[in-house]
Structure 1
Amino acid sequence: MLEINKLRDYVSQIMTSLKDENNDQLFNYTTVVLDNEELNTVLKERKSKENSFLIVVMPQFDLSGSEDNAKWDNSLMFFILDKTDYSDIKREQYIDIFVNTQKKAKAFVDKLIEDKSNHSGMFCNFLTWLKENSISVKPVWKLSSCNGWSIELNLDSNL
């Protein structure tokens, strides 16, 4: 079972390490939420000047395999979102939000895959059994005035 603190530490490390072409952090806010209700509460408290957000949903865990080869199947979900002021936004600007957050989502997924292959870092065992074919990236719109992407994935871990 993936430890929550290990996941939280990993996301904090990603937040500080991923930079844009101007060497600015891609994400300015991160937290762990339990469910949709808590996610909505957190998003309502955010301001657009704090964009972009990297939010982790509390993982779900299932056992898989047989007794001598049992593993945890960890289901993870992340949100990469920007708060949007709809008062004077035009259609092209609205689409640009998805263009910009999509770049951040891709950088996040690329970092996951890179860290899986990098066995010498602080989180070398964390992503060893990341199932690349489980990664799913979907658009999110008008979620508590936020737009962007959700990323879902699965990875195994030892009992």
Structure 2
Amino acid sequence: MSPFELREFLAELKSETNGINKTISAVNDSVLAKKVGSISPEQNMILVGVLPSYGSNGQNVDNVRTVPITQLMVLEKCDYSGMTEDQEWEMFQRTFLAITEIKETIVQKVSEDCPNYLINIDVNSLNIDPVWGKAECCGWSMDIEFE
């Protein structure tokens, strides 16, 4: 998955996922913080695509291939000081529903006639973890590894 393919994939997922209002890409936490700094509450929920890292896989030089690893996050910008426990649970529920919808979409695309950049996704790598306090946002992240 190239950076342009990630951008295309984010746009596609935004259009197919309930509640996603904005997509951004990030390289690291400081870039993420800069990009979400200007986001208003009306633009919550945010789909973040982390630019891939690229490893290598192969037994020798004749069969070496590039293996991308990336991460998607569904986040909401949070005001921790004014958030009640019920609001926190509701935010985690909303973002969880979105990230699981994205996971289901990815699995469906891999099982059907999918774009070339999704062909080698390792569906066993689609792990979802909670996110708290990342660039003043909360939600869920999902790792994506390719075989």
| Superposed pair shares fold, TM > 0.5 | yes
How far apart are 1:89 and its partner, in Å? 2.5
Equivalent residue for 1:11?
10
- Equivalent residue for 1:98, pick from 70, 92, 96: 92
Mapped partners of 1:89, 1:39: distance in 2: 22
Is residue 126 of structure 2 the alignment partner of residue 132 of structure 1?
A: no
Q: 1:86 maps to which residue?
A: 80
How far 1:60 sits from its partner (Å)? 0.1
Report Cα offsets for 1:55-75 as digits up to 9, x if no partner: 111100011103222221111
Name the residue aligned to 1:76: 70
Question: RMSD across aligned C-alpha pairs, in angstroms?
Answer: 1.4
Answer yes or no: is the 8 Å Cα contact 1:30–1:55 preserved in 2.
Answer: yes
Q: Which moved more, 1:69-78 or 1:51-60?
A: 69-78
What amino acid maps onto 1:8 in structure 2? R
Moved more, 55-64 or 143-152: 143-152
Instruction: For 1:96 and 1:89, locate their aligned partners in 2 and report how far apart those are by CA, in whole Å.
Output: 10
Identity across matched positions, percent? 22
Q: Distance between the aligned counterparts of 2:145 and 2:82, measured in 1?
A: 39
Alignment partners' CA distance in 2, 1:144 and 1:126: 29
* Contact 2:52–2:69 (8 Å) recurs in 1: yes
**Following TM superposition, by how much is the alpha carbon of 1:87 offset from its aligned partner in structure 2, in angstroms?**
4.5
Q: What's the counterpart of residue 22 of structure 1? A: none
| Unaligned 5+ runs, structure 1 | 20-25
Per-residue CA distance 1:3-51 (angstroms, 9 max, x = gap): 21111111101111223xxxxxx21110111211101111222111111
Residues paired across the two proteins, number: 146
In structure 2, the residue matched to 1:23 is: none
The whole-number CA distance in structure 2 between the counterparts of 1:64 and 1:109 is: 25
Q: What is the alpha-carbon distance in structure 2 between the residues aligned to residue 62 and residue 36 of structure 1?
A: 21
In the alignment, which of 88, 101, 116 is matched to residue 107 of structure 1?
Answer: 101
